[in-house]
Amino acid sequence: MIQNPILPGVHADPCICRKGDDFYIAVSSFEWFPGIPIYHSRDMKNWELYSHALQNAENPDLKKLPSAKGIWAPCLTYCEEDDLFYVVYGVMNSMNARYFDVDNYLITAKDPKGPWSEPVYLHSTGFDASMFHDDDGKKYIVALDWETRTAYEKPGPINIVEYDPVQKKIKGMPKTFWRGGTDRGCIEAPHLTKRGGYYYIMCAEGGTGYYHSVTMGRSRNVWGPYEADPCNPIVTSCPGDVNERSDWDHLKPRYYNPDSVLQKSGHASYVDLPNGETWLVHLTARPFVPELRCTLGRETAIQRMKWTEDGWLRMEKEGNLAQEFVQESMLPEFKAQKIPAHDDFDSENLGIGYYSPRIDARTFVDLKSRPGWARLRGQESGCSLNRVSILARKLTSVSAQITTRLDFTPLSYQHTAGLILYYDNMNFIYLYKYYSDTLEHSAISVLQVENGEKREFSQDRTFVEDGQDIYMRLKIQGRDSQFQWCLDGETYQNIGSRFDTSKFSDEYSQFGEFTGAFVGITCGDRMMHEHTADFDFFGYQADETAAVK
């Protein structure tokens, strides 16, 4: 059986495509770099991180963008006629006053590993833009037409416009053509496909929260009109039909379904296989209850689907409730390459699974000066939206142990280095070594930033010698997150308070939304941006079958 989610941790807005026997999923990356992770599989069950579509940190420039802005909802497609992969993505620049200022771009490549072309600007009419390749050679861009006027329904309808691949621009202005297949409201995530003479529009409705869902419509003409699937929504975590068009809030926690492990199920795309199978990937989340806080963010799940005789898409099992366990494909098993649980930093290149907020980690990580160690050059504080030296992995389970070994000599209280659990620049906890003016010596201590309020646990500071390596550990056991340390790598002792893991979530954060928690190593030099810290290894052990409760 396949256990959902197939991509645990921060993997929102999945889009799937196929080239021959290979399947690829692209997901959102928001303010994290490198951008647009792309996963690969051949059996729908085992997935490996294959590449990133955005490798140039200056284009787009994510620096100073607030949390959860940046790269939204990539659409990954393959056009057999062109033998090219296409990615359409949005750069969300601002959501101030609910204007949603976004720029949409298109890039192409022969292989998802790249190289990818320079971005082509499409339009800024709204977010979740995607591309459709018609069988007559024409190409179309569909997107949410974000509504800004006070007296109109939010977020707005879906629009369509033809794309000219020769001129590399859209032809005319986008035209409204679909307002949804239900009255759940908050329509978004449009994808156009074609099958059996019908054009199908797949969308998410209900908001990317607890009333999220997958809906469909179809037409004989790409421009419409489209008829709604009579069984909408076709996949959801909350069956039922309530008119919520007047409620523009995306979260809607009142629709939490206690009978489902998978919540927030929606924002989907599907792929037909030559063997007759049809598979759909969708966004989902697993909250702590009763707080309804999703520390792991919005994840990616998969469902087996089938086409009815009258040409509608349905879950293979009866009903429309997203399933935690799904029967495997008939495809041969694929041995995916997993990200190692222990990284000794023996390579001269960073592993593929590392991310940094807003900037390229290669600008502050040195793997060559001290072979076998990662040398991080300190920059701004973890609260900055600009240049922060955090080298992180996605947290994929609330049962995890993260360990590192630090060699660091601070010369000022402005010099810090250590281990961090980070949701965004306003919410993180940090076990760090620094220079204590009170002790007149180096020390380790714990710092917390909770919704922008900083708290230093001075009572927990501990005298440590320079020139002696320190082992640091973070143990996450469900709701409890606890830092530990030792000198020998064996006899760990607790330091600081236990922290509430659930607070590192969309629902608790007052400044960010749509992302999830990361864990990593970090170094700060808020004096000259040049002092360094050396890390011998980074260990990440997680039980991804553990339940979130």
Q: Which residues are known catalytic residues?
A: 13, 188
Q: Which of 196, 96, 83, 187 is nearest to 142 (CA)?
A: 187
Length of the chain: 549
DSSP letters spanning 155-176:
S--EEEEEEETTTTEEEEEEEE
Amino acid, res. 449: V
Map residue 2 onto helix, strand or coil.
strand
What are the residues facing 259 on neighbouring strands? none
Distance of CA 123 to the CA centre of its chain: 23
Distance (Å, rounded) from C-alpha 517 to C-alpha 431?
16
- Read off the tokens for 76: 């990954």
Q: Whole-angstrom Cα distance, residue 172 to residue 162?
A: 8
Element (H, E) at 313: strand 313-315
Coil, helix or strand for 458? Answer: helix
Cis peptide leading into 115, omega within 30 of 0?
A: yes
Q: Residue 283 belongs to what H/E stretch? A: strand 278-285
Number of Cα atoms under 13 Å in the Cβ half of residue 465? 5
Asked if 143 and 129 touch (Cβ cutoff 8 Å), the reply is yes
Rounded to an integer, what distance in angstroms lies between the CA atom of residue 294 and that of residue 505? 5
Tokens linked to 488: 């020998």
Q: Which amino acid is at 149?
A: R
In the block, residue with structure tokens 């759940």: 184
Contact call for residues 492 and 280 (beta carbons, < 8 A): no
Distance of CA 300 to the CA centre of its chain: 9
Q: Sheet holding 278-285: strands in order across? A: 263-272, 278-285, 299-307, 313-315
Q: Would you call 96 helix, strand, or coil by DSSP? A: helix
Distance from chain centroid for Cα 144: 20
Q: Where are the beta strands (DSSP E) in 81-119?
A: 84-94, 101-109
